[in-house]
Amino acid sequence: MIIAVDGPAASGKGTIARALARHYDLPHLDTGLLYRAVAATVLRHELNPAKEADAVAACDFDDLLLADPALRDDEIGKVASIVSAHPLVRAALLQRQKRFAAQEDGAVLDGRDIGTVIAPNADAKLFVKATPTIRARRRHAELHAHGSSLTFDQVLADIRARDQRDSTRSTAPLVAAEDAATLDTSFLSIEAAVQKAIDLVEAARARKAAACG
Ligand code: CDP
Ligand code: CDP
């Protein structure tokens, strides 16, 4: 079974994807980390994230980097959204994600284009959303807990800028797949959101089983 989980920053998609992977005993890939690793490599080598050739050169990062907690940094998220708009960067990371999705046991992937590009044939697709204010509140609390001094207004402005960039780029923009179920987590606890996600996956599986006769 392949489960695709997409949505904007701090919508709760990572939390939901991890919980689904545990529930169904499937491997999980947070694809945002790949773009964050490219961003971190760009910054380390003092390259220009807006230049496609510079960003492509940074796609050859050391896999150990994916485990670095510093990738969660807000600045890295911002640069990730700049490098991820380059078609050649997306192409460089495509096969690795498709391979992950195609492994025999199945997989859960979360990101922006899982249901539309990486795994268009996924058995279940969720599009997770929440209002910008609520997402900014969540991200602000997270960053604050990690010692960041960014204000709520700065985090909200960053979230809006990232939404705008991710939704308007020409290659693989952030958009719900036509056959995705939308899950609004704005007023849901984590437990309630996870339960709703499981229910939606079960409904998608039942529909698929019925369609296969
Ligand atoms: O956790 P959060 O939603 O803040 O960010 P993320 O999922 O780690 O993604 C960071 C950035 O990478 C996003 O703003 C996107 O621009 C980009 N990304 C993407 O373009 N496609 C994906 N499948 C995943 C992330
Ligand atoms: O992966 P994404 O950036 O979409 O979000 P996340 O990392 O799963 O969630 C962002 C923050 O919101 C985390 O601190 C979660 O614990 C929190 N969260 C929440 O408060 N309520 C939810 N229903 C889902 C997540």
pTM above 0.95, yes or no: yes
Lowest mean pLDDT, pick from 1-15, 25-39, 156-170: 156-170
pLDDT above 90: residue 200 = yes
Output the pLDDT for position 174. Answer: 92
Contacts of 63 (CB under 8 A, 6+ apart): none
Characterize the bridge pairing of strands 107-111 and 28-30.
parallel
Could you tell me the residue ranges of all domains in the chain? 2-192
Query: What separation in Å is there between the alpha carbon of 147 and the centre of ligand 1?
Result: 22
Strand order in the sheet with 2-6: 28-30, 107-111, 2-6, 124-129, 181-184
| Other C-beta atoms lying within 10 Å of the C-beta of residue 156 | 18
d(CA 15, CA 71): 17
Query: What separation in Å is there between the alpha carbon of 8 and the centre of ligand 2?
Result: 11
For a ligand 1 pocket test, name from 38, 84, 164, 174 the mutation site with the most ligand atoms within 8 angstroms of its C-beta: 84
> For residue range 76-115, what is the model confidence (pLDDT) as tens digits?
999 999 999 999 999 999 999 999 999 999 999 999 999 9
pLDDT above 90: residue 13 = yes
| Other C-beta atoms lying within 10 Å of the C-beta of residue 86 | 22
Q: What is the token pair recorded at 86? A: 């380059």
Average pLDDT over residues 154-160: 95
CATH number listed for the domain at residues 2-192: 3.40.50.300
Query: What separation in Å is there between the alpha carbon of 13 and the centre of ligand 2?
Result: 7
- Of 147 and 35, the structure prediction assigns the larger pLDDT to 35
Q: Which amino acid type is present at position 209?
A: A
Please give the ipTM for the structure prediction. 0.97
- The answer, yes or no, to whether any atom of ligand 2 lies below 6 A from the CB of 19, is no
